[in-house]
Each structure stands twice: as structure tokens, then as C-alpha cells.
Amino acid sequence: MKYNFYVYLFIMAGVTYLIRAIPILSVREKITNRFLNSFLYYLPPTVLSVMTIPGIFYATKSIVSAILGFLAALVFAYLGKDLMKVAALSCGMVLLVEIIQKFI
């Protein structure tokens, strides 16, 4: 059986479009339900964190450097540093721990 790449591509594009278009087309008026508004407000950061945090722990050679880099990012973010500083300092922490572990 020969598979056609373009058939699969168009089916995937159609499904992706429908998943995004149906909610937009079905809601005509402003959403006034407080529970639904708060759910929709917190949904994007929740999805982003659920996708990002597992990647943090599997991106390094050891779990120790990943945990210390994650904790460094949490501390610097809590202290109000901007995103570039938090990312750079947490990457620096991971690099430092990886170098130390290499020599131990």
C-alpha cells in the first residue's frame, strides 16, 4: 500500500484548523461566567508550565544539575529579575554544576 504524504498533511491541517475554529465560531457573545473566565485566564500559563517543567529535568546529564538550575530560576524569578537574567543565571548554574560533577 502506498501512502500519500499530502493526504496526511491536509487531514492534519484540517483537524488543527477545526480545533481552533470551532470555539471561536461557536461563542458569539462575551463570556460573563466568573468561573469560566478565571479558568480561561489561568489556562495558558498552566499549559506552558506543564510542557516546560518536564523538559527542564530531562535536558541535562544529571538530575542534580537540573534541580539546582530549576531552583536557581525559581529564586531569581521570585526576586524579580527579568527573563533574560533568570534564564542566563539558571543556565550558568547548570553549567557550573555539570563542570563540578565532571571533576568529582
With 60 as the cut, is the pLDDT of residue 7 above it? yes
* Gap between the Cα atoms of 4 and 40, Å rounded: 38
Nearest to 96, CA basis, from 72, 76, 79, 78: 72
Q: Give per-residue pLDDT as tens, 38-58.
A: 998 999 999 999 999 999 999
Rounded Cα distance, 57 and 94, in Å: 11
Using CA atoms, how far residue 39 sits from 33, 61, 62, in Å, is 10, 36, 36
Spatial CA neighbour of 58 closest among 47, 70, 71, 46? 70
Pairwise CA distance, residues 12 & 7, whole Å: 9
In the 8-state DSSP scheme, what is residue 94? H
Q: What are the pLDDT digits (tens) for 93-104?
A: 999 999 999 998
SS3 assignment, position 58:
helix
